[in-house]
A and B are shown apart, each in its own frame.
Chain A
Amino acid sequence: MDITDFYDTFFEEAEELLGDMERLLLELDVDEPDAEELNAIFRAAHSIKGGAGTFGFLVLQETTHILENLLDHTRRGELTLRRDIVDTFLEAKDMLHDQLNAYRNGEEPDQEAFERICNTLKQMALDELGGSEGEKAPKAKPAPTPEPVEEAETTASTDDESTEEQEATLCVALLNVAEKDRGLLVEELEQLGSVIEQHGDDKRYEVTLKTGVSGEDIEAVMCFIIDDEQLEITTVNASSQEPAASSTDKKPDEPKQAAEPDEAEAAESVSAAKAETSATPAASAPTKAAQPAAKPQAKSSGGKAKGGSGESSLRVPVDKVDQIINLVGELIITQSMLDQTASEIDGITHTALHNGLNLLQRNARDLQEAVMSIRMMPMDYVFSRFPRLVRDLADKLKKDVELVTEGKSTELDKSLIERIIDPLTHLVRNSLDHGIESPDVREAKGKPRGGKLTLSAQHQGGNILIEVIDDGAGLNRAKLLAKAESNGLAVSDNMSDDEVWQLIFAPGFSTAEQVSDVSGRGVGMDVVKRNIQAMGGHVEILSREGQGTTTRIVLPLTLAILDGMSIKVGQEVFILPLGTVLESLQPSRDDLYTMAGSDQLLKVRDEYLPVIALHQVLDIEDARTELTECIVVIVQGEGRRYALMVDDLIGQQQVVVKNLETNYRKVPGISAATILGDGSVALILDIADLHRLSRRKTGQPTHNSTKPTQEVLTS
């Protein structure tokens, strides 16, 4: 077995650890840091270092080592935290991330950046801790490119440095580890200390190890290769084997420490507890047992909690999941084909068949729902990247901004989650740069100095609603109108606020007085809007001058399945996304008006809606052409309503969305295709695009200023 097989596991775990580290650093209260949090940060760094050493990622190991030293001093209370220190830690974390990515791509990390961050960290150690640490740090630095073996020895020796006096004999039991992996693991252990004895079989293989490394550290190194539960570490007395501190009790120091509020005392108790564990393991067991309440707390905290979740989750490549989803989609289609055939069979003589089919239908739907839920991911995946962004940006802009996130656990399809990040980042940047004012301005306006930015996500029907809310200056109507005018957009003073806000989505539109490197180049909101539309959603803006702006993104939960209404025009069947359908009605002649000769408008409850004649737009020959003979479906697209002329409504059904562009191309007025119960293909209509198409077809010049006029018909 090749050690490179484990690289991916390491990269993924290290990435998660770095994520944890960043989150913890951001949450850290600089003035009164929580000892448990500091420990968790330290452990994350430590685990990464261990893994990096094992795999010979030298630069990564070295950087983590220096960072770890500093973190160690911090948790011992020897280094007092300040905001700029946390900033440096965050910077170091970013650097680690870059290095990790470089290794992942099979490259060597940027040497210059590595040296820079090492020097920064060392300088900090020098400044904050005085001479002793400063001298120590360079000594610990190995030559940049020694062999991986030497490398791992460095890990061992650096660990020895701190725990030299606590050398203990550990019995490491490997459970259910195949022989080929075992050799590798034993080799690994040999690098951590001296192996005294090894024996056993595949089921249980025991290695007795004399080492200065703690059981916890061994586990951190091993867990990149095997699972937690495959490892059992016991401390052995020279004479007898006492199964006192097994791997589940790996952190005897923690409950104690959590109980100590004073940091210095806590630090003392750490070393005390450590000495205790190695010297008198039997004694530490009762201590543990006496604190059962403290144990779960210690277990759930920090990096180790990750290892525990290994049992309940499974890493699966996305394409495998997608394949299952496709197959289930096929199953649903087959099921509705059967249904259709069966509906022509006499129900009384074939009751059993019908019952069976009903059951099949229910099971198929349940299966589909269950499979779809695999792809669902919590919004936290997106939101968790914003605390850092907001912090950095607020610093840069010299603003004081508090970020609040709501609805982190709201779930959304993975493909959508990934595509929402960029637009959302853009909106957050906009809010920080243009929305929230500087503290002085805010004070002058009678607002609190600190601005508030809220990110929220919630379900609403079949949609997810994501909002970016700031309590900043809001949009300035007059400024927007003036800007639009100078950009050559058709505007008038009596446009509604909504229409004015929509102006910012026009390409090349920016009201920022100064172009900053944060935003203001005017390439943005139109891209945001286009991206969100491409995902089948839309953007709304609510703004109040002086009080703030809310940008609301409405997205479908998933792209793979759609609740549709099937309609018929002539002999052709089309699907309307149910979300766009408001109502359907039989129009009467009195409600019909014409405008400019050919434009038809339908009056529906005091509202005049443009009529889209589907048969005309889609060239359907045998359709009814007289509006009064047709059924009108009132639909909504991009915030506007239209009256759609159709021949018949067939019914509602869930359809599996099939991309037309896989083998063909984008069709104007059509968003995708689906397969009906009889196996034929039906096209899914795109309302807003249909209206644009209809306008082009009837040769009317566009009179809607918010729609970009430069769009051309693609065929």
Chain B
Amino acid sequence: MTAVSQANAQLQQANAANLDAHSSEFLVFSLGEEEYAVDILKVQEIRGYENVTRIANAPDFIKGVTNLRGVIVPIVDLRIKFHLDNIEYGGQTVVIVVNVGERVVGIVVDGVSDVMTLSPDQIKPAPEFGVTMSSDYLSGLGSLEDRMLVLVDIDKLLTSEEMALVDKTTH
């Protein structure tokens, strides 16, 4: 679980650091070979993948629900959602717990690498296409020397109909 504690320490550091108001901070995570990033203000905590109770008849990328200090939180595996190969669950598998509106959702990723500060000119607009992932769910592409970060609009993604996390029909 050292990966998790390291990541949490980074998260805390980043939150503590007082940075330029114009640039924003992102938590970078990896899915397979690709690097993605979410707005760090959306991230509540990072924890290991354990004790997930499966929910029957749910889409395959919804791994189930887990107990986060008394709160029942759904766990989504973005690797399955993005059709990646080699999906394994091990000590390095990490769950990023994000706050989306009033809700708390955990997303499973391959690993969390670092926290990045991106200035506005480092953020390029998202391309107008996307087969497995609609560009609606992207807030842009972060360009950092030779790296490309896919900036995910986690709010839009997780509340979208295709994620099936939110009841669209009110009961």
Contacts and interface: CB of A to CB of B under 8 A. Distances in A.
Contact of B67 (A664, A668, A681): A681
A572 interface: yes
A330 interface: yes
A673 B166 contact: no
B51 interface: yes
A662 B171 CA distance: 13
A675 B164 contact: no
A680 B67 contact: yes
Given A663-B73, A665-B166, A572 B57 contact: no
A664 B72 contact: yes
B104 A663 contact: yes
B41 interface: no
A545 to B, nearest CB: 36
B105 interface: yes
A525 to B, nearest CB: 18
B66 A681 contact: yes
A673 B54 CA distance: 12
B70 A665 contact: no
A333 B169 CA distance: 32
A668 B72 CA distance: 17
Given A665-B165, A667-B55, A682-B53, A333 B74 contact: no
A326 B58 CA distance: 28
A619 interface: yes
Contact of A714 (B59, B69, B70, B169): B169
B21 interface: no
Contacts of B55: 664, 667, 670, 683
Contacts of A326: 70
Contacts of A397: none
B103 interface: yes
A679 interface: yes
A665 B168 CA distance: 9
B103 A667 contact: no
Given A572-B53, A681-B66, A683-B55, A663 B171 contact: no
Contacts of B71: 658, 662-663
Contact of A715 (B54, B69, B70, B164): B164
Contacts of A353: none
Interface in B40-68: 51, 53-59, 64-67
Contacts, number: 80
A668 B57 contact: yes
Interface string A644-680: 0000000000000011111111111110010100111
A618 interface: yes
A617 interface: yes
A587 interface: no
B88 interface: no
B145 interface: no
Contacts of B53: 572, 673, 680-683
Given A534-B171, A679-B51, A667 B57 contact: yes
A619 B55 CA distance: 9
B167 interface: yes
A673 B56 contact: no
Nearest to A656: B70
With a 10 A CB-CB cut-off, give which of B56, B71, B165 has the most chain A CB atoms: B56
Contacts of B104: 663
A333 B70 CA distance: 9
A680 B51 contact: yes
Interface string B133-171: 000000000000000000000000000000011110101
Nearest to B104: A663
Contact of A659 (B58, B69, B72, B164): B72
A191 B65 CA distance: 64
A319 B54 CA distance: 31
A619 B51 CA distance: 19
B56 A658 contact: no
A693 interface: yes
Contact of A662 (B57, B64, B72): B72
Contacts of A673: 53, 65, 72
B52 to A, nearest CB: 8
A329 interface: yes
A620 B54 CA distance: 10
Nearest to A619: B56
B56 A660 contact: no
A123 B164 CA distance: 63
Contacts of B164: 665, 715
Nearest to B56: A618
Contacts of B58: 667, 715
B169 to A, nearest CB: 7
B107 to A, nearest CB: 13
Nearest to A661: B167
A105 B44 CA distance: 37
Given A663-B72, A663-B74, A667-B58, A679 B67 contact: yes
B72 A715 contact: no
A714 B104 CA distance: 21
Interface string B113-125: 0000000000000
B57 A663 contact: no
Given A662-B71, A663-B104, A715 B66 contact: no
With a 10 A CB-CB cut-off, give which of B51, B65, B165, B166 has the most chain A CB atoms: B65
Contacts of A681: 51, 53, 64-67, 72
Contacts of A658: 70-72
A326 B59 CA distance: 31
B42 to A, nearest CB: 14
Contact of A660 (B54, B69, B72): B72
Nearest to A330: B70
Contact of A617 (B54, B56, B103): B56
B167 A665 contact: yes
A693 B64 CA distance: 19
Interface in B84-108: 103-105
Contact of A572 (B54, B66, B69, B70): B54
A617 B56 CA distance: 8
Contact of A664 (B54, B70, B165): B165
8 contacts: A329-B70, A617-B56, A620-B56, A669-B56, A683-B55, A714-B167, A715-B58, A715-B59
9 shortest A-B CB distances, which residue pairs? A618-B56, A681-B53, A665-B167, A664-B74, A680-B51, A663-B103, A658-B72, A330-B70, A675-B67
Interface of B: 51, 53-59, 64-67, 69-74, 103-105, 164-167, 169, 171
Given A679-B67, A693-B57, 13 more contacts: A330-B69, A330-B70, A620-B56, A658-B72, A659-B72, A662-B103, A663-B71, A664-B55, A667-B55, A669-B56, A675-B67, A681-B64, A681-B66
